A and B are shown apart, each in its own frame.
Chain A
Amino acid sequence: MADSQTVTPRRPLPWVWIGMAAVVIPLLLVLAFGLRRDPRALPSPLVGRMAPAFSLQLFSGGRLTLGELRGRLVVLNFWASWCVPACTDEAPVLQAIWEQYRTKGVTVVGVNIQDHEAPARTFIQRFGLTFPAGMDPRGVIAIDYGVYGVPETYLIDQSGRTVYKYAGAVSVDLLAPVMAPLLETR
Chain B
Amino acid sequence: MIRQHLLVAAWVLAVTLTTSAQEVDLGVRVIASKLRCPVCQNESVADSQSELSAQMRTLIRDKLAAGETEDQIVRYFVSRYGEWILLEPPRQGVLWFVWLAPAAALLGGAVLVIAYLRRSIRPHPHLTP
Q: Do chains A and B touch in the complex (CB under 8 A)?
A: yes
Nearest chain-A residue to B85 (Cβ)? Answer: A146
In the complex the two chains form, what is the Cα distance from A145 to B81 in whole Å?
8
> Which segment of A27-35, A53-61, A84-92, A134-142 sits at the interface?
A134-142
Which residues of B lie under 8 Å from residue A144 when comparing CB positions?
Answer: 80
B120 in contact with A7 (CB, 8 Å): yes
From A7, A45, A147, A149, B119 is in contact (CB under 8 Å) with A7
- Count of B interface residues, CB-CB < 8 Å: 22
Confirm or deny: B112 has a beta carbon within 8 angstroms of a beta carbon on chain A.
yes
Nearest chain-B residue to A114 (Cβ)? Answer: B51
Confirm or deny: A180 has a beta carbon within 8 angstroms of a beta carbon on chain B.
no
Which residues of A lie under 8 Å from residue B56 when comparing CB positions?
Answer: 139, 143
In the complex the two chains form, what is the Cα distance from A46 to B120 in whole Å?
61
B119 in contact with A3 (CB, 8 Å): no
Nearest chain-A residue to B60 (Cβ)? Answer: A143
> Which segment of A8-16, A93-101, A103-111, A169-177 sits at the interface?
A8-16
Which residues of A lie under 8 Å from residue B59 when comparing CB positions?
Answer: 138-140, 143
Confirm or deny: A62 has a beta carbon within 8 angstroms of a beta carbon on chain B.
no
From A6, A44, A142, A149, B120 is in contact (CB under 8 Å) with A6
A-B contact count (CB 8 A): 62
Confirm or deny: B82 has a beta carbon within 8 angstroms of a beta carbon on chain A.
yes
A-facing residues in B51-90 (Cβ within 8 Å):
51-52, 55-56, 58-59, 77-82
B84 → chain A closest CB, angstroms = 10
Which residues of A lie under 8 Å from residue B55 when comparing CB positions?
Answer: 114, 138-140, 142-143
A148 in contact with B119 (CB, 8 Å): no
Given contacts A139-B55, A140-B59, A148-B38, A45 and B82 within 8 Å (CB-CB): yes
Which residues of B lie under 8 Å from residue A143 when comparing CB positions?
Answer: 52, 55-56, 59, 77, 80
Which residues of B lie under 8 Å from residue A3 when comparing CB positions?
Answer: 122-123
Residues of chain A at the chain B interface (Cβ within 8 Å):
1, 3, 5-9, 11-12, 16, 43-46, 114, 137-140, 142-149
Residues of chain B at the chain A interface (Cβ within 8 Å):
18, 38-39, 51-52, 55-56, 58-59, 77-82, 112, 115-116, 119-120, 122-123
